[in-house]
Amino acid sequence: RKETHNSKTMKRRQPQQDAIGARRGTSTTTASSPSLIARCCIRALTPAAAVFVLYITVRVLTVVLKNGHPLADKITGALPPAAGASVRGGSVGTGKARLIRKELLNKGPLDLWDALLEGAQKEAVAAEASGRPLVAVEVGVHSPLHCVHAAQVGFQTHCFEPSPKSYKRMVEGKGGVNEQPPDIKARLVPHQEAAGPESGKILPFHSTGGTGDHIGEYDMWRMEKRNVPVEGESALDKKKRGEIIEVPTMRLDDFIQNDVKGGEVHILKVDTQGFEPSIFSGLTDSVRSHSIRYIIFEFWPRGMDLMADTKDMCSGHKILDMLIEAGYELYALGIESHPKAPLYGGADLKREGAKRPLDKGTEAYCRWFFDIERQYPSKEGEEYKFGYWSDFVAVAPGVTLPDKVKKM
């Protein structure tokens, strides 16, 4: 019935179209007319064919957007922001290839921690007076300096450190919790626990009291899962190897829900020598609900792969995906390395760090850290396996960086 109706309609319209064509000096039946060809093609499509064409179009667009094709920027740039997306400086808060920003590319995590705290000092003082304090959380506390500074600025500050030696230094050492005046000490809450994927568990912990303390029985220098003496081991190597102890765990989602009563987490800093993916797996609720304004965390691909038993797979990029999918905006910070690295400090490291692929997706960004190792191999007899690392600051939707950070 539909075909018969269309046929009759075309017969009624044809004389009128021929007359119009005659007045314009053209023929409406000329096969070279692009508009006529297009109209004929559209009319010739059956419903099934139309669905097929739509399906192919969607598939092509999906591949273009997903794989970072040059057309992707033109397509996404013409689209309005998705619901819940944040727009700052022309960057839409959805789409993995667009979310790693470069404005803080040469900044360090500790300077940023201080600036983010000081930028909200007036708010922190007012919040404390109202009974709804702003909260700062540091996970992995080698020195008490940064936790104490947060409390001095006016934040209720929680400091997580499972290492017995580091915890004692944080509480009893010079400049530690116990040396603070009563008003500052009242804002400091030390936790001798390891943040992890679950609460109430026990994990092995490599304890020396130094900056290399970490979860698990791993030899970080050799990038191996072991903690046994090796033949000819020096006294210094034995000291570095430390001892394995057991430490309790706390899931940060549980902590935020149960311990941050009436407050708001302004900032969280995580530096745990490669254990970050496990910590973030216990932080999913808080990330999805945007319960934390700023998250500073170390991004060490080699260490993350070692901890997750995913050698050379760059599994750490999943942290970035998790944050991006929740709407957080990611700012890459400066690149760092060990003093024994072939590329260490100075202009060379800074120059190479500026080449990181910020717009190629999270896995490409992660793998760049492996590529730089291949570009700068170790000298013969001095094999360096520690790799390179950086940090990120993740900014929640609707939150902006304070002027103090922008002026750094």
Q: What pLDDT sits at residue 223?
A: 65
* Residue in this structure with the two tokens 């020396």, named with its chain if needed: 208
172 SS3 class: helix
pLDDT of 40 strictly over 80: no
Confidence of residue 378 (pLDDT cuts 50, 70, 90): confident
- Distance (Å, rounded) from C-alpha 334 to C-alpha 109? 8
DSSP3 helix / strand / coil % (the chain, rounded to 5): 45, 20, 40
For residues 161 and 128, is the Cβ–Cβ distance under 8 A? no
Q: Which residues of 331-366 are buried (b: 16+ CB within 10 A; e: fewer)?
A: bbbbbbbeeebbbeeeeebeebbeebebbbbbbbbb
Q: Which regions of 7-80 does DSSP assign to beta strands (E)?
A: none
Separation of CA 123 from chain center: 26
Q: What pLDDT sits at residue 124?
A: 97
The helix/strand count (H/E) of the chain reads as 18, 15
Q: Are strands 87-88 and 91-92 parallel, antiparallel or unpaired?
A: antiparallel
For residues 92 and 98, is the Cβ–Cβ distance under 8 A? yes
Q: Are strands 134-139 and 336-337 parallel, antiparallel or unpaired?
A: unpaired
Q: Which of 40-54, 204-218, 307-321 has the highest mean pLDDT?
A: 307-321
For residues 192 and 177, is the Cβ–Cβ distance under 8 A? no
Separation of CA 196 from chain center: 18
Confidence of residue 27 (pLDDT cuts 50, 70, 90): very low
Confidence of residue 208 (pLDDT cuts 50, 70, 90): low
pLDDT of 388 strictly over 90: yes
- Distance (Å, rounded) from C-alpha 107 to C-alpha 275? 23
Confidence of residue 29 (pLDDT cuts 50, 70, 90): very low
For the residues 265-289, what does the mean pLDDT come to? 96
Q: What pLDDT sits at residue 254?
A: 96
Instruction: Give the pLDDT confidence of 227-247 residue by residue, as tens digits.
Output: 555 555 666 555 555 677 889
Instruction: Give the pLDDT confidence of 61-85 residue by residue, as tens digits.
Output: 544 444 444 444 444 333 333 333 3
For the residues 121-139, what does the mean pLDDT come to? 96
Q: What pLDDT sits at residue 273?
A: 87
Q: Which of 37-46, 257-266, 299-308 has the highest mean pLDDT?
A: 299-308
CA angle 223, 226, 229 (to 5 degrees): 110
Among 290, 333, 317, CA closest to 85: 290
pLDDT of 303 strictly over 60: yes
103 SS3 class: coil
How far, CA to CA in Å, does 276 sit from each of 120, 307, 353, 361, 383? 26, 9, 22, 20, 26
pLDDT of 264 strictly over 60: yes
Q: What pLDDT sits at residue 370?
A: 96
Least confident of 256-265, 272-281, 375-384: 375-384
Q: Which of 5-19, 44-58, 310-324 has the highest mean pLDDT?
A: 310-324
Phi, psi of 49 (to 5 degrees): -65, -40
Q: What pLDDT sits at residue 203?
A: 87
Q: At what angle do helices 145-153 and 109-118 cross, to 10 degrees?
A: 10
- Distance (Å, rounded) from C-alpha 213 to C-alpha 204? 11
Sorted by where each starts, the structural domains of the chain and their CATH numbers stand as 13-94 (no CATH), 100-406 (3.40.50.150)
Q: At what angle do helices 362-375 and 317-325 cross, to 10 degrees?
A: 150
- Distance (Å, rounded) from C-alpha 25 to C-alpha 27? 7
Confidence of residue 115 (pLDDT cuts 50, 70, 90): very high
Among 319, 305, 309, 318, CA closest to 373: 305
pTM of the predicted structure, to 2 decimals: 0.74
How far, CA to CA in Å, does 279 sit from each of 57, 148, 297? 40, 23, 11
Question: Token digits for 240?
Answer: 């570095």
**CA within 13 Å, CB half, 177:** 21
Percent of the chain topping pLDDT 90: 56
pLDDT of 198 strictly over 80: yes
Question: Token digits for 333?
Answer: 């910070």
- Distance (Å, rounded) from C-alpha 69 to C-alpha 73? 8
Q: What pLDDT sits at residue 107?
A: 96
How does the average pLDDT of the chain come out, rounded?
79
* Residue in this structure with the two tokens 């404390």, named with its chain if needed: 128
For the residues 151-170, what does the mean pLDDT come to? 95
For residues 206 and 213, is the Cβ–Cβ distance under 8 A? yes
pLDDT of 185 strictly over 90: yes
Sequence length of the chain is 408
Q: Fill in the amino acid letter for 358.
A: L
For residues 157 and 185, is the Cβ–Cβ distance under 8 A? no
Q: What pLDDT sits at residue 47?
A: 63
